[in-house]
Every structure is written in structure tokens, then in C-alpha cells.
Amino acid sequence: MEYTVEDLSPVKKKVNITVPVEEVEAALSAAIAMYRTNMSLDGFRKGKVPANLVESRFRKEIYNEATQDLVNVHINEVMTALDANPISRIDFDGGQLERGTPFEYNISFEVLPEFDLPDYDGFAVEQEKAVVDEKEVDEVITRIRTNMAELVPVAEARPGKDGDVVVLDFAAFENGQPVEGISAENFQMNLGDRQALEDFENLVKTLSPGEEGEGPLNFPADFINPDFAGKSLTVKVKVHAVKERRLPEANDDLAQKAGGFESMDKMREAVTSSYMQSRTQLVKATAQKTMLDKLLKMVDFPLPESMVDMYVGHLLDDMRTKLERQGKSVESLGKKPEELRAEVRPEAEQVTRTQIFLLRAARKEGVEVTEQEIDAQIQQIAARSGQDYNALKDYYIKNNLIFSLRDRMLADKAMDAIYEKAAVTEVEPAAK
């Protein structure tokens, strides 16, 4: 096998490969032998059919098999010889395999750009001290008290207000006819949490227990359920009760019930410790980002298009997920797919630059990610998302996500290695 390499760009290579006749014949013979083993034909014992008859009967399959075998073998040889690590799919372009002639084809793929990393040993960066304000702890305790509050009917006859819970019946109508799917009895509605349509909540806030009312129910044009998007209905409501939350005292009894703490002081210590851990991680991550942004401004390199496209896809997926959580859809934005891609592309390019820089740093620092570490990461993802580990790992493998996961882990390790070599100065946190 002979090959020549063309640099189509700083991030794209083309390899022209010529396979000699001898290898072509050997690959065809191996493919024929495989088909011959299981072939039956009248007049011949199984596995004894002449090779020319086997080739004639299964010509297309045999030539495809031989072609694939040759390409796979030579791609591995070429990648090893070039010490190349493709970051895109490998595109194949070649003619038909024929007996008696060399087989010529080419492959093309993208690679990471080559560039010199700036000197980051001793790089100066400021990092805020990790501190926890007592007011933050107080807010957590208040949230715990709110979650454990007792719901009691309000003493006076009044409409509900933000923070109250209203028990009600409701039903929607269109042209006087009930609308299926928009009705409930003895429904408990939390006022002020913005989970209901504004028209609905405003109507409920006008009604005291025992009162009934009706009003318009206008659905936004980007409502996630297309059956109701942009529609104007009428909603009828009957309020049965208005309840307020009676918060328990912030004492040792609450600490015991909330988390098994022996005292309120111990619970506050635990909350403070948890806050300190997350705050320490946050200020470190902020300092790392500041440092990385400065380092990125010191280098310039081309971006592989396939890598940018991958991150464009990731960002669009994130956009879709966030909109769905808000009860909206991508289509509700009223923009064409190419417009959305253009909008997120600058961010995708920045993510690509960051990833490439860190992967180069990982190579310089000799950072590696083991199979065990990848498995542990997938286990963590599965635990957080409530998915089955084996099913999630199979999904990553089938969708070629293992490599991107490994690269993200490499990038994280590289960032930690860069940070460890930095000259970090602690500063007081900025005033809020």
C-alpha cells in the first residue's frame, strides 16, 4: 500500500491511497472463501462450490466486502503512520474494485490545528475569597420552614394573594361549549409562583371562598400545546377555600424533623458548609474562566468546521430544552433553522476555540482519561438523571458520544493543570 498526503487546509487532510494488485486479489479471495463456506449448489457439496461460481453468484456482496476490508485496514495503517486523530467522520471517495488493477481511493478528515500554546506557567489571576453571608443561611432556613409549613384556612373571608394556596374548581369554555382537558375540581393552586396563565391567576385573586367568577383565558401564541396556542377562551372558577402557610418555628425541633440534626445550630453549620463548598467551586471556576479568556486572546488558530457544527447542534438542543421547560417550542420563535444556526454560531465558535485550546494543553501536560474514569462519569450522569447506567452507556456508544465525553473530561483536567501552575491571588469578594 502506498499513500500521499495533501493538506487541504490547516485543519483538513486528504490521503490518496493506492492498493497493489496483489492485495486486491488477496482481499477478493478472502471474501470469496467466506461466502464459499456456507454456499450450497446442486451438484456440489457444501463448501466445495468452485470459486468462480461463488464470485459470479455473490459478486456485488463480495466486492463490497473486500473493499470495506481493504479500506478499514489501510485507514488504521495510515492513521498510525501519520499519528493522526480525526475529529470528524472520515469521508471515502474512490472507484470500483477490479481484478488485475490497483485499487485507488482517497480519504479526507479534519484534525485539530497545530499552534503554539502561550506560556501559562505562573500566569497571574485573581480569585475571590469564598465567603458565606449569614443572610444566605437565613434564606435557606426560611425555605425549609416554607416547605414544612402547615396549610390553614385564612381567618377572614378574603381573596387569595401571593403565597397563598387556593382550593378551587375551574373549567374552560369555547363558544359556550366545555373545552376538553382544561377543567378540574378541588384543584390546589399556589398563587404567585407564575405556573398558571396570568389571566387565570388574576381572576382567582378576585374571589373569596364560596364565590364564583368568569373571565377571559388568553393563551400566548408560543404556548407549547399547539391546540391552544393563540386561542382566547372563557374560564369559570369557583373558590372553595383560601389557605395560608403557617411556618414552624426555627428551633431544634425543626432541625430534627427537617434533616435529623440535633439542633438548629448544627443545621445552620451544615447549610453553611454546603454553601462554602459550592462557593469555593464557583470562585475557582470563575478564576479559571478569566484566566482562560486571557490566554485565548494570546493565540489564533483556524476552527474545524465539523467541530463548530457539532457545538451548533448542541446549543440548538439546549435552546429547545429550555423553551420546552417554559412551555414553548422552537417553532414559536418564528425563525428559520438557518437563522437559529447563525444566531448560535458565534457561541459555538467560542466553545470550539476553548475546547481545542484545552485539548492542546492536555497533550502538553500529558493528561489522560482512563476507561474507568469515563465509566464513572457515565454512572454519575445516570444517577443524576435517574437513567439506567447500562442503557445510558449503550446510548453513548451507539451515538459516538464516548469520544466527546472523553474530550470534555480531558479539557476539564487540562484546565485544572493550567490553574495549578497559575499565580493565584485571593481578593475580597465584590460588593453586591
> CATH number, domain at 44?
3.30.70.1050
User: In this model, does residue 45 exceed pLDDT 70?
Assistant: no
Average pLDDT over residues 306-330: 88
Q: Which of 246, 271, 299 is the last residue of a domain?
A: 246
The pLDDT score that the predictor gives to residue 34 is: 82
Which tens digit of pLDDT belongs to each residue from 341-370? Answer: 999 999 999 999 999 999 999 999 999 999
**More reliable by pLDDT, 289 or 399:** 289
Looking at the structure, tell me whether residues 395 and 341 fall in a common domain: yes
Confirm whether 291 is domain-assigned: yes
Query: Cβ(251)–Cβ(264) under 8 Å?
Result: yes
Average pLDDT over residues 66-90: 88
Instruction: Please tell me the distance from the alpha carbon of residue 430 to that of residue 421, in angstroms, as a whole number.
Output: 25
Instruction: Please tell me the distance from the alpha carbon of residue 326 to that of residue 391, in angstroms, as a whole number.
Output: 28
Looking at the structure, tell me whether residues 301 and 412 fall in a common domain: yes
Confirm whether 388 is domain-assigned: yes
- Predicted confidence band at 262 (pLDDT cuts at 50, 70, 90)? very high
Looking at the structure, tell me whether residues 343 and 287 fall in a common domain: yes
pLDDT > 70: what percent of the chain?
A: 97
The pLDDT score that the predictor gives to residue 344 is: 96
User: In this model, does residue 47 exceed pLDDT 70?
Assistant: no
Q: Which of 246, 271, 305 is the last residue of a domain?
A: 246
User: In this model, does residue 431 exceed pLDDT 80?
Assistant: no
Non-local (6+) Cβ contacts of 261 within 8 A are 255, 267, 270
Which tens digit of pLDDT belongs to each residue from 119-145? Answer: 999 999 999 999 999 999 999 999 999
Q: Which three cell numbers stand for residue 414?
A: 487540562
Query: 165 pairs with which residues across the strands?
Result: 190, 243
Confirm whether 390 is domain-assigned: yes
| Identity at 87, one-letter amino acid code | I
User: In this model, does residue 13 exceed pLDDT 90?
Assistant: yes
Looking at the structure, tell me whether residues 85 and 156 fall in a common domain: no
Instruction: Please tell me the distance from the alpha carbon of residue 183 to that of residue 197, in angstroms, as a whole number.
Output: 14
How many other β-carbons are positioned within 10 Å of the β-carbon of residue 329? 16
User: In this model, does residue 70 exceed pLDDT 80?
Assistant: yes
The pLDDT score that the predictor gives to residue 353 is: 96
User: In this model, does residue 80 exceed pLDDT 70?
Assistant: yes
3-state secondary structure 73-100: HHHHHHHHHHCCCCCCCCEEEECCCCCC
The pLDDT score that the predictor gives to residue 227 is: 85
- Predicted confidence band at 44 (pLDDT cuts at 50, 70, 90)? low
The pLDDT score that the predictor gives to residue 94 is: 83
Q: Which three cell numbers stand for residue 402?
A: 464516548
The residue segments making up the domain with residue 265 are: 255-427
Structural domain total, the chain: 3
**Region of poorest pLDDT, from 65-74, 129-138, 297-306:** 65-74
Confirm whether 274 is domain-assigned: yes
- Predicted confidence band at 432 (pLDDT cuts at 50, 70, 90)? low
The pLDDT score that the predictor gives to residue 211 is: 96
Looking at the structure, tell me whether residues 173 and 275 fall in a common domain: no
- Predicted confidence band at 49 (pLDDT cuts at 50, 70, 90)? confident
Looking at the structure, tell me whether residues 335 and 305 fall in a common domain: yes
Looking at the structure, tell me whether residues 70 and 215 fall in a common domain: no
Q: Please report how the helices 264-296 and 252-259 are oriented relative to each other, as an axis angle in degrees rounded to 10.
A: 60
Determine how β-strand 124-128 pairs with β-strand 423-427.
parallel
Average pLDDT over residues 60-69: 90
Looking at the structure, tell me whether residues 72 and 180 fall in a common domain: no
